[in-house]
Amino acid sequence: MKIHILHNLREEPWGGGNQFLKALRGEWIRQGAYTDTSEEADAILINSYPFSAEYLFDQLWHLKRRHPNKIVMYRLDGPISFIRQKDQDFDRIIRAWSDAIADGIVFQSRWCEEQNRLAFGITSKYQTIIHNAPDPNIFHDSTTQRLNDFPIKLIAASWSNNPRKGFDVYQFLDEHLDFNKYTMTFVGNAPVTFKHIKMLAPLPSNELADVLRYHDIFITASKTDPCSNSLIEALACGLPSVALKDGGHPELVQNGGELFADTQDVLEKIDNVADHITDYQQQLPTMNLTQAANNYLAFVKQIWDDKQAGHYSPKRTRVGDLLTIKRMIITWKAKRLWNKSTGSSN
């Protein structure tokens, strides 16, 4: 069985989802399970909502018209509107595409699965939960490289500059962290500036991994984040983590760090990890890319085997579905332009 990822994969720093999909493609290539052409693939993996690339949906629709027996897996995070605090139309479009064309859904965390179901009714006959995993050739531990000396080195990272990525907490730390005991670095894009926290621009994966391994503790305050790739990459690099108790963070951190509720307890949690850092290092969860890739393959094989046995027929494309979704996209874009012109945030 061959799989193709229908997504515009970028080589430059471009967010966690892009990094994971590149790593997943590399692992499938290594296993001989990947094809670079959608025509040759038995199964297609699509990723959430293709911002500024709606033509990928058109490509998929026409592909299914030509090859109705191809299996379509839909990899979902979100709900997107939870992170943006607007744009529920995104999630409604995702629901419509899922109902129309997806044979199975891969949710990135249990939290993601539950919130998509409760808020937008997104479910499938075939669905599973598969956490992301980093490329082990890039994101791996190297205890000899980390100094573990004084002061203790904290680090946070975010490719997105969305304020809900935790910048209120980082600003609080910039003002209240004990910088005699700690240093802190932020890597990525930010809508704010800091007085004490060192800022670095987004880095290619190899350079980011080196920077992570130089530090001691990772912190993330992102809200409603279904499966943070930056957190996964930091854990894989051997960093105990302090994470906001929200979204998929608890599922990822497990016993490899502490969870905090808000600015009232974040300093205490950082101190707890710093004072027992060796204990947390020994309990870091394992993020295995090969296992994640195999889980995807096992999931699509389940659908494929049911199809071969006559227990399932892949979804057929209907012109009415496509027209409905195109109308939803046009409506959303028109609403966005209207809100922009009127200054509305709705």
Nearest to 326 by CA among 81, 88, 97: 97
Does residue 230 come out as left (phi exceeding 0), alpha (psi in the -120 to 50 range) or beta? Answer: alpha
**Beta partners for residue 289, in sequence order:** none
Mean pLDDT of 324-332: 88
Percent of the chain beyond pLDDT 90? Answer: 71
Nearest to 83 by CA among 167, 159, 156, 162: 162
pLDDT digits (tens, 9 = 90+) for 83-138: 888 888 889 999 999 999 999 999 999 999 999 999 999 999 999 999 999 999 99
Tell me the pLDDT band of 52, cut-offs 50, 70 and 90: low
pLDDT digits (tens, 9 = 90+) for 196-221: 999 999 998 899 999 999 999 999 99
Read off the tokens for 49: 């909502």
Q: What is the pLDDT of residue 148?
A: 55
Rounded-to-integer distance, Cα 256 and Cα 141, Å: 14
Residue listed under structure tokens 């515009």: 8
Task: For residue 70, give every residue at least 6 positions away whose Cβ sits within 8 Å of its Cβ, in sequence order, or none.
Answer: 41, 42, 43, 44, 63, 64, 314
Q: What is the largest CA-CA distance in the chain?
A: 67
Task: For residue 86, give every residue at least 6 positions away whose Cβ sits within 8 Å of its Cβ, in sequence order, or none.
Answer: 345, 346
CATH, range 3-133+289-342:
3.40.50
Residue listed under structure tokens 């600015």: 263
Nearest to 41 by CA among 8, 17, 81, 69: 69
Q: Do domains 3-133+289-342 and 152-281 have the same CATH topology?
A: yes
Backbone torsions φ then ψ of 250, nearest 5 degrees: -60, -35
Q: Is 152-281 a CATH 3.30.1660.40 domain?
A: no
Cα-only R_g, the chain: 21
Query: 3-state DSSP call for residue 73?
Result: strand
C-alpha distance from residue 31 to each of 19, 27, 28, 297 (Å): 19, 6, 5, 11
Read off the tokens for 196: 């004490």
pLDDT digits (tens, 9 = 90+) for 143-202: 554 555 679 999 999 988 888 899 999 999 999 999 999 999 999 999 999 999 999 999
Identity of residue 165 = K
Q: What is the pLDDT of residue 344?
A: 66
Mean pLDDT of 258-281: 96
Rounded-to-integer distance, Cα 82 and Cα 224, Å: 6
Report cis status (omega within 30 of 0) of the bond before 151. Answer: yes
Mean pLDDT of 41-60: 83
Mean pLDDT of the chain: 91
Q: What is the pLDDT of residue 287?
A: 87
Q: Is the pLDDT of residue 11 over 90?
A: no
C-alpha distance from residue 56 to each of 45, 229, 314 (Å): 11, 24, 19
Q: What is the pLDDT of residue 145?
A: 47
Nearest to 193 by CA among 211, 174, 176: 174
Q: What is the pLDDT of residue 143?
A: 57
Q: Is the pLDDT of residue 278 over 70?
A: yes
Residue ranges covered by each domain of the chain: 3-133+289-342, 152-281
Mean pLDDT of 276-295: 95
Rounded-to-integer distance, Cα 114 and Cα 218, Å: 27
Mean pLDDT of 332-338: 85
